[in-house]
A and B are shown apart, each in its own frame.
Chain A
Amino acid sequence: MSTRDLETKPVIGLEIHVQLATRTKLFCGCPLEFGAEPNSRVCPVCLGMPGVLPVMNRTAFELAVRAATALHCDIARFTKWDRKSYYYPDLPKNYQISQYDLPFSSDGYFDVPVGETTKRVRILRVHLEEDAGKNLHDNPAVTLVDLNRTGTPLLEIVTQPDIESADEAYAFCTELQKLVTYLGVSEANMQMGHMRFEPNINVHITRDGVVYKTPIVEVKNLNSFRSVRGAVMYEIERQIQDWLADPTYTLENRGKENRGWNDTREITEFQRSKEEAHDYRYFPEPDLVPVEISEAWLAELQADIPELPLDRQQRLQDEVELSAADAATIVGDRATADLFEAAIAAGGHGITLGKQFISFWLRRAKERNTSIAGLGIDAERLGELSRLTADGTINATAAARIAEHMLDSADTPMAIAQREGLIQVKDVGQMQVWVDEAFAANAKAVQDAVSNPKKQQRARGFLTGQVMKLSAGQADPKIVGELIDKKLAELAAG
C-alpha cells in the first residue's frame, strides 16, 4: 500500500528550555559560568544539603515575565513553585523546583515567518524551573557528576500542537532564538546549550474517510536547530511507514513513546518507556513563598520591551525599502540592527547601506567569526561610506576598497578616499579627454564596437575598462558609459 492513497497531517508541539541571562543561579548566588572547573560553582543550596533554603533570583523572575509578555501570554497575578520528584544523580535534592498547576504565564502565541507567510503558533504555558547538573558517561566504571549547572534558571516554553512541518518547527526555534536575544532574556548560545528542544510529533492519517492517529513521540533533548528539523522530518516519515506496516501502530494502542535523536545516523531511536518514573509526585514547594504580581510591577516590566524582530523587519522593509531577506538578515542580530539604524540616523543612505551591509560588511564579519556590530566600526563611518557612495563622490569599486581600509584604521571614509585618490572625477571635460585617449590607442576595439555585432558588447566593455584605467579608477562609470556611447554613435553615423 502506498502513501498516495492517504491524506497525512503531521501534528507537532514543542517544549523548549531557554537558559536565562542572569549572573547567578535561580535559588542561590553561585555564579553561572560555562566551562568552569567541575563542581567549582556550587554551594550548599545547589548541592542539595539538608537544612538549606532557596531564595528566588529577582532578575530571573523579571526576565521570565518579559519573555512571556513578548509571547503574548497572560501573566498570572499569583504564582507558586512545586517540587517534581525524581531520582537521578544530576539532581542531588531528588526533586526539581518547577511550576505545576499555577505557572506564572499561559495562553499566548508567537507569530513565525515561514517562507512568505506568517504562521501563528499558540503557546500553552511558559514557566520557570531550575536546571539539573551534568552526568558524564565516558568512564566505563563510574558515572561522573558535575553540579555547576544545577540550579541554572530555565524558561520552559510549551506550545500547542499547531506546527505542521519540519520547516515550521525549524522556523519557530530560530525565530524564538531571535526573540529571546532581542529581549535580553537569554544569550541563546547554542554551543553553550542555552536552548534545548523536545518536539512531540504524531501524524493524523486519513484513509477512506477514517482518521488514524499514530502514537505521540517525544524526541528528547535536541540541542541544535538542525537536529530539530532532522528529527521532525524523520519522525513524520517513520510513523507513516510504521503504521502502514502495522495498522495497530496507533495512539490508542501505544500511547506516548520517547525516542532519542542519533545525530550521526540522523535517525530517532526507541527508548524504553518508564511509566513509573513519570510518577513525579508534584507538591507545593514549602521552602519558597508564592509571588504576587501587582499591576504597577507588571506595567514596569512590560514597559521596556523593545520592538520585536518581526515588527522591526517589517518596518525596515517599509521605511528603508530593504528586501525581506536583507531585512531579516540585518534584524537577525539586535546589535547589528541597532548599528544599521544608528548609521542611517547619522546621515547614511538606507538602500546603499543595506547593500553594503549584506555584500561587504556581513562577509567580512563572517570571516572574522563575529557579527557586523562585532567589527567595531562606528555608525558615523558606516553611514558616511554609504552616503559618499550614494551621492556619487566615490564609485562602488572605490567603496569596497575604502571599506577594506576602514577595517584596520579609524580614519573617516572621506579621509581614506582622499589619501588613496578614490574620489570620483565629475569633470566631464576631463573624462572626455580619457575617452578620446582610449579610442585613439585602441583602434581595433573601436572598429569592433562600431561594426562587428558579434564583438560589439565585449569591445565596448574593453573601452570602458581602458578609460577607467586611465582615470586610475576615479572616473564616474556612468558618465564614461554615456560618453563612449555618444562617440560610438557618431563614428557609426559618420
Chain B
Amino acid sequence: MAKKIDEAQVRHIAMLSRLKPSDDEVRLFSEQLSAIVEYIEKLNEVDTTDVEPTAHALPIHNVFREDVPTEPYGPDQALNNSPQRVGSFFGVPKVLDQDSGA
C-alpha cells in the first residue's frame, strides 16, 4: 500500500516550513506521519450520517474580551530570548524576498 504521506510531500512541507531534513529524516518522517494519518483514519469507521458538521470541537461560541489595553512587554522583556538584538529590533538573517505573504 502506498504511503499516506510520501517523501515528496514531506519535502514539500519542509520547504514551506523552511526546514532542510536529511534524506534519512525524510524517510523517517514519511513513515511516522503516514502512521499518524492512518491512525486518525480510524475515525472514518464512525457512522456520521446523522451528525451535523461542526467548525469547532467545543460547544461554546462568542467568547470576547473588551477593548481595554493591558500592560504590554517593553522591548527588553520582548527581546530577552532573541538570538540577535539590534537596538529595539529583533535581528534575523537577511530577508531577500521583501514581499510578505500576508
A binds B: yes
| Chain A residues engaging chain B, CB cutoff 8 angstroms | 22-24, 28-31, 37-44, 47, 55-61, 78, 80, 85-91, 94, 96, 102, 131-132, 135-137, 139-147, 220-221, 258, 260, 271, 274, 276-281, 284, 286, 288-292
**Distance of A38 Cα from B101 Cα, bound (Å):** 21
Q: Which residue of A lies closest to B65 (CB)?
A: A55
Interface string of B50-67 (1 = CB under 8 A from A): 000001111011111111
A142 touches B65 (CB 8 A): no
Number of contacting residues on B, CB 8 A? Answer: 43
**Distance of A160 Cα from B93 Cα, bound (Å):** 39
Residues of A within 8 A of B97 (CB): 274
**Distance of A96 Cα from B97 Cα, bound (Å):** 18
Interface string of B78-96 (1 = CB under 8 A from A): 1100001011111111110
Residues of A within 8 A of B67 (CB): 22-24, 57-60
Cβ distance A109 to chain B, nearest Cβ, rounded Å = 27
Q: Which residue of B lies closest to A49 (CB)?
A: B81
Residues of B within 8 A of A24 (CB): 67-70
A56 touches B93 (CB 8 A): no
B70 touches A88 (CB 8 A): no
A39 touches B95 (CB 8 A): no
B56 touches A286 (CB 8 A): yes
Could you name 18 residue pairs across A and B whose Cβ atoms are closer than 8 Å? A30-B70, A40-B73, A40-B78, A42-B73, A55-B63, A57-B65, A59-B67, A86-B16, A87-B18, A90-B102, A136-B89, A139-B86, A260-B99, A279-B16, A286-B56, A289-B60, A290-B56, A292-B61
**Distance of A55 Cα from B86 Cα, bound (Å):** 31
CB within 8 Å for A142 and B86 given contacts A30-B70, A147-B78 = yes
Residues of A within 8 A of B22 (CB): none
A-B interface, 7 closest residue pairs, ranked by CB to CB distance from nearest: A29-B70, A86-B101, A59-B67, A58-B64, A144-B89, A31-B69, A145-B90
Q: B95 is contacted by which of A28, A135, A280 (Cβ under 8 Å)?
A: A135
CB within 8 Å for A284 and B66 given contacts A39-B78, A39-B79 = no
B73 touches A43 (CB 8 A): yes
**Distance of A146 Cα from B70 Cα, bound (Å):** 19
Cβ distance A362 to chain B, nearest Cβ, rounded Å = 34
The dominant DSSP class at the A interface is loop
Residues of A within 8 A of B48 (CB): none
CB within 8 Å for A39 and B61 given contacts A23-B67, A290-B56 = no
Residues of B within 8 A of A88 (CB): 95, 100-102
Q: B55 is contacted by which of A55, A89, A281, A284 (Cβ under 8 Å)?
A: A284
B72 touches A42 (CB 8 A): yes
B65 touches A29 (CB 8 A): yes
A142 touches B75 (CB 8 A): no
B98 touches A137 (CB 8 A): yes
Residues of A within 8 A of B89 (CB): 38-39, 136, 144-146
Residues of B within 8 A of A271 (CB): 99
Residues of B within 8 A of A292 (CB): 61-62
Q: Does residue B44 face the partner (Cβ distance < 8 Å to A)?
A: no
Most B Cβ at <10 Å: residue of A28, A47, A80, A102: A47
**Distance of A136 Cα from B100 Cα, bound (Å):** 12
